[in-house]
Amino acid sequence: MDDGVSSSQMGFELEFGDGEFELNQEDYVVSEDEHLGILIEKEIHLCFKKDQALVSDEWMKRARSDAINWILKTRAALGFRLQTAYLSVTYFDRFISTRSINSEKHWAIRLLSLACISIAAKMEECNVPGLQEFQLEDFFFESKVIQRMELFVLTTLEWDMAIVTPFVFLPYFIPNLCNESQPYNILYNTTMQLIFTTMKEVNLMDHKPSVIATSATLVALDQQLTIEDVELKIKSIPQHMRFLELKDVYDCYNIMQRLYMERTRREKLLHTPGSSTILSKPIDMTENSLINSATMSKRRRLTFDDDKQGGGGNGCDSTKENPKL
């Protein structure tokens, strides 16, 4: 290599025998279309399909709702990014789409939730707290138990953890779908709220991230679109033919539109004089402050060897690879 090349120069040289090959910064520049293509390929790699068994399982619906509420509360308490919470729920949904958890084993749902947000934090956060710093109000798990559950999740998901989320598509979709007269920050915040509201209601494996991002943006723009309107809109998105199916987008749009209208009606009812309706607080899309954790005076210590409170049956000793759920 030529030692005379200044570090301030944009390129560098590599010697191959008698010749030289120069790599410049421009060689690594990826266009928007190329980057979108990369995201599409990553999305295709992960299989998304509706699981009717999960839809009909009322216990799992309730357990999943509780898990998501706990993940969102823990994210706020530890100051994690919103992306971390969404990724946690994605891991959770991928896991329960592959593995079954015996009904009424609430400790198993909480342990899975903890493992998912811990792994997501390692993927997304610069500063990851120790396992014992995660907020647990009703159960206490030893660090080695959590680590074994993390490994169980990782192996179940085949160590494929760097997955795309709807958020990476928004910089492409919002500029192409919105009008210049619409404030970008308001549209972005509404879109984000819709994504997280939908996350609570549907298994994230039912819809591709690009479909969720497109549908949320469209609902934020207009809640009265017909299927013809949606078709016209998505044609403005680059490479839409490669990854956006009209039926998938319109079905997801209708789900989000319904959730949006339900929330709007609740908000109107909340502001009606004499109303005692309690509306859950929307997620602050810009929040990064810590909140006080709840008092945790009563916690049960569970290990995989605890037959009465934990895994049941013979439990799982420390030599086994996976916990028994």
Q: What is the pLDDT of residue 180?
A: 66
- DSSP summary character for residue 104: T
Residues of the chain with pLDDT under 70: 1-30, 45-56, 135-136, 180-182, 239, 241-242, 271-325
Interacting residues of 146 by C-beta distance below 8 A, sequence separation 6+: 111, 114, 115, 118, 131
Q: What is the pLDDT of residue 231?
A: 92
Q: What is the pLDDT of residue 271?
A: 64
Q: What is the pLDDT of residue 121?
A: 95
Residue of 235, 247, 238, 162 lying closest to 211 (CA atoms): 247
**H/E element holding 302?**
strand 300-302
Interacting residues of 270 by C-beta distance below 8 A, sequence separation 6+: 277, 278, 279
Q: What is the pLDDT of residue 289?
A: 33
Q: What is the pLDDT of residue 320?
A: 43
Name the pTM for this structure. Answer: 0.73
Instruction: Pull the structure tokens for residue 141.
Output: 């798990």
Q: What is the DSSP string of 14-43?
A: EEETTEEEEE-GGGG---HHHHHHHHHHHH
Q: What is the pLDDT of residue 309?
A: 40
Q: What is the pLDDT of residue 38?
A: 77
Interatomic CA distance for residues 92 and 212, integer angstroms: 17
